[in-house]
Structure 1
């Protein structure tokens, strides 16, 4: 560790940027880089020990196993696991020794608890520090406490352009609201925003100097780790350049996880990928290419017209028009910048960090978020977290409830939705790992107990999770009142992740008594809600899904009265549930059902080739209180990217005409005629993702893989690298010679395939409820094929 000058502070506040841990002679050294109002500085915490927990009953065995190790100690603690077994803390003054011990104990069958929690995270977690921190300095000692901080980060968007094989960097662009620059390989006239460099090595050195000069807290980009920083590292290694991009002037580190995901580590700076951040904030796009997302969010795209051949175009611009390449490179940076601003992503991550303690650059992290919030409270209650996935299993804990649907084409269907059902169930029925331990504890008072499912019993008074959710719930209500969308979204994602943590067998609190007490209670609530509606109002409940019920008012119900009926149903049900739960369990309900939607027309289709109703698939014409209407599709071809644009467009147009009482037969006939004349060829493209490398598909090679393999052979013949890797999308068409990739399409299209596999299924799904036959309607057109 370099000798970094410690700031001469008495007291200040800031926001934690990065966290590092490393061995030193005096113990583990923790370093936190903090963004304060007017500076960024490191805080070092020396002489620390790692800790995890082991069972008292295994201490003698453990001591024999670790007899040859030094640098560790055991201490009896006034804590137990959730099965009331006493525990020792195992402390190490070296990260290296701790990792060796954990590896050895794992193969020796010793139970370890919380051994995976990084010391940098535990140090903050146990002090309830989540993002904001108050720092008090006495001599060389720092005391850290939680603080409310609204940081202002320095952000820099970066983007590289390279050769087709990414074996040379051609240009590097930087963009911020107060800075823009492109470094271009080659010769030309410099300008304030364009600087030419004589060699790739000089470009890398200029890149380092630019970062040092601008001094950003955060890098943003598009696939910025998987491509840009990966290429930077590879080219720097090849050219013997040390990528000293961190604020400690140490080389940047590129790590690969066990799942093959790359991570960048540098002191005092973090990297945020636009794709991962949007996904984490629950944004969904048909394609997460920068071109598609920027078109969807910003109504503009890249500066190269033919984006599908941008690789060739970039090489041409580098050869013939470097100034144009610089503009293109810089615009890519600005697109990313504008997407982050439009989606308010930085504020979303700040709010997430404040709520969970997760680092801003943490991808996913629902289990870590749960740990950060839950474990400090659990420890103070006298317990440690269980061994990973050691909870009770094999109990048959189902997922969310999906009611058997009643297929048909309806008028006037209302949707009633339970607000945050699973968090509401946790709050109402006191579902909690700690509460379960206290509820099953010998000597628990009967009046304090609340039954769950699968023999779970919870304490009414000794709980942690319901209070955490209650706090988050109140914060979300407040966020909505002040229109803080970033905070509201962050809280929603966190609350909804709690069930997943309790129900996933890769999480430490996994226990099917917990997860089934949530899901089976949800089943009961949806079922009883449907029965209540039918018994008290006589309306048919035609479908239910996880937290919603779909109520058919009847085709002749007055349209003007639908909204009022929806509100009346919600009001009745909330009273009914309040009385029901008070009578059965003597508890106050946190359940709240809301009237959500009125569909003036609604289709619940059948499963294909069956009379049975489908699940999670429907379409409707949503009617708003002002009388306007909008088409909604759920799970149908219109919203599935593995169906062709032809099928998706036809479904939307056909269903809208049927729902609005317009002539629909001419549309269907016209589409079939256009198909056979070859006028719809551009809409016959399939697009499907490969889940693994193409060479790994051995026994089963579905159409998109066959097309991808043909493309790979074509790229090899052209001496170009294949663009297809695990997670890539392949675009292809079905021809008379089978599947062919779009970029190497050479055969005539198989129009009969598209008629039978794309047009027919879409049309028949609704025609069966209209008393019409597809073959009768389009028979003359079919004969012309």
Structure 2
């Protein structure tokens, strides 16, 4: 028997004469390895009381199934039977037959290969043992056994891939940049190259293009293929064109065919290779952008532009293919290079590996916070004697509230310190034993349970999430100590997602008693913390979810404010330890930290009202690099305000927060901006950017400004193509809104009213400025 270890690149399952077998491609230190499991059975669960009826239904349909009574029960304490199958085909057929006969089926939506790995606690990498054989270009193990191996750090060969095509998906070219390659495959007759040299392989038609792609990938043999929307777009188009041309697209190792399935999301399998999408990985890593387009992210992260910047990019791509193929090849290649550069700068591949090793999700799995939770929790639940519930099985219809947001006290303050609960919701779950299994067992044994909210009771002993959160917290601290930022970030995301998953109606473990016991406990903690701080002689002006804003004396130095912030945090933590011990006989894992000292700090009113706003404020902090303005929820951080508004607000607050500030300094700034605006100095900063939330044809009654601009433009440019989700750039002109082209007769007065005055009014409360003060005659005199 041969023993080896490697990182999982791809997984599949297939029917064999002896049962279901699983194929797992690993990247080992000796290269790729195809590992085929011993024949297995696959299973789902039913109530033991339904077994007789299920046997009749499946026997009548000729479906072979082995039933077995198990030491498992559902959340309603009903006994469970396992339904075992030697065939995937019969497994899925049985699911449909039993559901059609109104027999409740449990965990049938867990993919057999996922169950196979998760029940062995395999996350990202594995030990394997089986019968060894050397194949052409790879090694193979058969009749293999699997065991978790958490200690592998893979070193991948990477290929960046990007396609160009027309609106119907007809292929023009394919860019390939990465280890040992930098070229574009292009349909067309060979052309002499002009200017900068680029490696182009010319193909007669789409068939030769796809065949050449197969040859290149077979030769390069990459472990990982990356791209931008690469699964939903590039590979979906490649797969569709291959099918239309009756080609089997063999891009996997051992020349195995790709497999693409659509459903809730598109699942792509390329045997022996992982395909990782840049957009999805950025979102999983909690990056936020106004747009996740490659053009926008590249501009933000790399300071580089795509080679085609026109609004209607597709029209230009088609024109270049017909008229200037070398230009299109350069554009295609540049997109591949930008993707590689973004992955490298943001360590996205490292993040994907760590995420897989923490959750067990496949390296290429898109989204999946619910799937990650199931991977972590389900094997533990089974070992506690339960099967997972189906959606909505609790039968409860009320919704749990969101995070606590305190009413604010508006104004300009000299010193404000912010105290922030570290991972508040995970800490609440750990402290108060909030857990799906804990809820079931707590309701069964109320005599020694922890009280939650909405009649929830949680077992003090039988639960899994508190221990899981403890392990994650310790591992994250170790990651910080050992300077492993990707691991620390991935753990933080997983911990923060635990509440979100339990509060999601799309999760089988959702129960409003769980989620409300977290959020309402958070409300109580925030309110009690505020009361304590005020009893100690300080004033709390705002609180949001897990942060509390405390005003300190204006005469205090920054060092004194920092000391008070630290002392308040220690005192609050001590009080919570005492109170939770006395009230619940539990150990407190709540930990509040002194986070920030703002000097000064501004909390605005709600526009047009005297009451304080929520989730909107500005302040100045001092860092090692110098002073820094921080804006929360203000125009400077909102994508639907123009660059003019961003620049104007930043200057106003820079002045407001300056040491020599007087109110008289602010009105001249507004006057100066208005003069410069009407002089045309800000024309390049007047562009609004708004995402198209629906298909253009879906806007019928309520037509927002960006849609009006689009429809007006299409009236004179019928070939202009726009898709839902696209960012629309538009401006206000003397004839209304127009799609931004750079050549407009701007309506400057509208920009004064909509962009400058609202920001000024927020600060200039002691002046009588209002929109009514500005008309054409007055502005012309400024």
TM-score over 0.5 (shorter chain): yes
CA 287–181 in structure 1, closer or farther in 2 if over 3 Å, else same: same
Structure 2 counterpart of 1:414 = 417
Secondary structure at the residue paired with 1:337? helix
CA 653–523 in structure 1, closer or farther in 2 if over 3 Å, else same: same
Distance apart, 1:627 and its partner CA: 8.9
Alpha-carbon separation, structure 2, partners of 1:53 and 1:711: 57
Secondary structure at the residue paired with 2:596? strand
Alpha-carbon separation, structure 2, partners of 1:677 and 1:559: 43
Report if the CA contact (8 A) 2:405-2:543 is conserved. Answer: yes
Secondary structure at the residue paired with 2:599? strand
Distance apart, 1:639 and its partner CA: 1.0
Report if the CA contact (8 A) 1:672-1:781 is conserved. Answer: no
Distance apart, 1:732 and its partner CA: 1.6
CA 318–73 in structure 1, closer or farther in 2 if over 3 Å, else same: same
Distance apart, 1:27 and its partner CA: 3.0
CA 293–192 in structure 1, closer or farther in 2 if over 3 Å, else same: closer
Alignment of 1:106-117 (within 5 A): 106-117=99-110
Equivalent of 2:82, from 74, 89, 98? 89
Distance apart, 1:682 and its partner CA: 2.6
Distance apart, 1:290 and its partner CA: 1.9
CA 392–412 in structure 1, closer or farther in 2 if over 3 Å, else same: farther
Alpha-carbon separation, structure 2, partners of 1:613 and 1:301: 41
Structure 2 counterpart of 1:606 = 605
Q: Which range moved further: 667-676 or 307-316?
A: 307-316
Alpha-carbon separation, structure 1, partners of 2:198 and 2:314: 27
Equivalent of 2:753, from 748, 752, 756? 756
Q: Deviations over 1:52-106 (max 9, x none)?
A: 2222233344445445222223221111112322111122333333333333444
Distance apart, 1:317 and its partner CA: 5.6
Say whether residues 1:75 and 2:68 are aligned partners: yes
CA 688–164 in structure 1, closer or farther in 2 if over 3 Å, else same: same
Equivalent of 1:344, from 340, 344, 347? 347
Say whether residues 1:36 and 2:28 are aligned partners: yes
Distance apart, 1:734 and its partner CA: 2.8
Alpha-carbon separation, structure 1, partners of 2:780 and 2:170: 53
Structure 1 counterpart of 2:333 = 330
Q: Deviations over 1:506-553 (max 9, x none)?
A: 1111111111111111111111111111101x2111111111101111
Alignment of 1:192-271 (within 5 A): 193-258=199-264, 261-271=265-275
Report if the CA contact (8 A) 2:666-2:764 is conserved. Answer: no
Secondary structure at the residue paired with 1:378? helix
Distance apart, 1:560 and its partner CA: 4.0
Secondary structure at the residue paired with 1:129? coil
Structure 2 counterpart of 1:664 = 666
Alpha-carbon separation, structure 2, partners of 1:262 and 1:14: 26
Structure 2 counterpart of 1:6 = none
Say whether residues 1:765 and 2:762 are aligned partners: yes
Alpha-carbon separation, structure 1, partners of 2:263 and 2:716: 32
Distance apart, 1:579 and its partner CA: 1.5
Q: Deviations over 1:330-369 (max 9, x none)?
A: 3321221121111111111111111110001111211111
Q: Which range moved further: 72-81 or 424-433?
A: 72-81
Q: Which range moved further: 547-556 or 318-327?
A: 318-327
What RMSD over aligned residues (CA atoms) do the two structures have, in Å? 2.6
Report if the CA contact (8 A) 1:673-1:781 is conserved. Answer: no
Secondary structure at the residue paired with 2:392? coil
Alpha-carbon separation, structure 2, partners of 1:605 and 1:192: 55
Alpha-carbon separation, structure 1, partners of 2:525 and 2:584: 14
Q: Which range moved further: 359-368 or 27-36?
A: 27-36
Alpha-carbon separation, structure 1, partners of 2:220 and 2:230: 18
Alpha-carbon separation, structure 2, partners of 1:513 and 1:311: 50
Alignment of 1:689-708 (within 5 A): 689-708=691-710
Structure 1 counterpart of 2:641 = 643
Alpha-carbon separation, structure 2, partners of 1:335 and 1:405: 44
Report if the CA contact (8 A) 1:26-1:46 is conserved. Answer: no
Distance apart, 1:778 and its partner CA: 5.8
Alignment of 1:561-572 (within 5 A): 561-572=560-571
Alpha-carbon separation, structure 1, partners of 2:715 and 2:69: 64
Say whether residues 1:579 and 2:578 are aligned partners: yes
Secondary structure at the residue paired with 1:784? helix
Secondary structure at the residue paired with 2:568? helix
Structure 1 counterpart of 2:503 = 503
Structure 1 counterpart of 2:291 = 287
Equivalent of 2:39, from 47, 53, 56? 47
**Unaligned 5+ runs, structure 2:** 133-141
Distance apart, 1:313 and its partner CA: 5.7
Alpha-carbon separation, structure 2, partners of 1:627 and 1:71: 70
Structure 1 counterpart of 2:112 = 119
After TM superposition, the score normalised by the length of structure 1 is 0.91
Secondary structure at the residue paired with 2:108? coil
Secondary structure at the residue paired with 1:440? helix
CA 80–294 in structure 1, closer or farther in 2 if over 3 Å, else same: same
Alignment of 1:117-516 (within 5 A): 117-138=110-131, 140-148=142-150, 149-163=152-166, 166-169=169-172, 171-185=173-187, 186-188=189-191, 193-258=199-264, 261-303=265-307, 306=309, 308=311, 314=317, 322-323=325-326, 325-391=328-394, 393-442=396-445, 446=447, 448-516=448-516
CA 693–103 in structure 1, closer or farther in 2 if over 3 Å, else same: farther
Distance apart, 1:320 and its partner CA: 6.6
Secondary structure at the residue paired with 1:450? strand
Structure 1 counterpart of 2:651 = 653
Q: Deviations over 1:145-202 (max 9, x none)?
A: 0012111122101122345765341x32211144322223331469894433344432
Q: Deviations over 1:96-151 (max 9, x none)?
A: 33333333444544332211100000000111111111011158421100012111
Alpha-carbon separation, structure 1, partners of 2:161 and 2:776: 58
CA 65–615 in structure 1, closer or farther in 2 if over 3 Å, else same: farther
Alpha-carbon separation, structure 2, partners of 1:552 and 1:680: 38
After TM superposition, the score normalised by the length of structure 2 is 0.92
CA 396–223 in structure 1, closer or farther in 2 if over 3 Å, else same: closer
Structure 2 counterpart of 1:3 = none
Q: Deviations over 1:380-420 (max 9, x none)?
A: 11111111232353445211111111122222111110111
Structure 2 counterpart of 1:525 = 525
Q: How many residues align?
A: 762
Distance apart, 1:765 and its partner CA: 1.5
**Unaligned 5+ runs, structure 1:** 1-8
Report if the CA contact (8 A) 2:190-2:202 is conserved. Answer: yes
Secondary structure at the residue paired with 1:175? strand
CA 98–691 in structure 1, closer or farther in 2 if over 3 Å, else same: farther
CA 312–83 in structure 1, closer or farther in 2 if over 3 Å, else same: closer
Report if the CA contact (8 A) 1:395-1:454 is conserved. Answer: no
Alpha-carbon separation, structure 2, partners of 1:84 and 1:502: 21
Q: Which range moved further: 100-109 or 496-505?
A: 100-109
Report if the CA contact (8 A) 1:378-1:434 is conserved. Answer: yes
Alpha-carbon separation, structure 1, partners of 2:435 and 2:314: 53
CA 235–713 in structure 1, closer or farther in 2 if over 3 Å, else same: farther
Q: Deviations over 1:725-780 (max 9, x none)?
A: 2212222223343332224x887433333222222222211222x45534598678
Report if the CA contact (8 A) 1:15-1:34 is conserved. Answer: yes
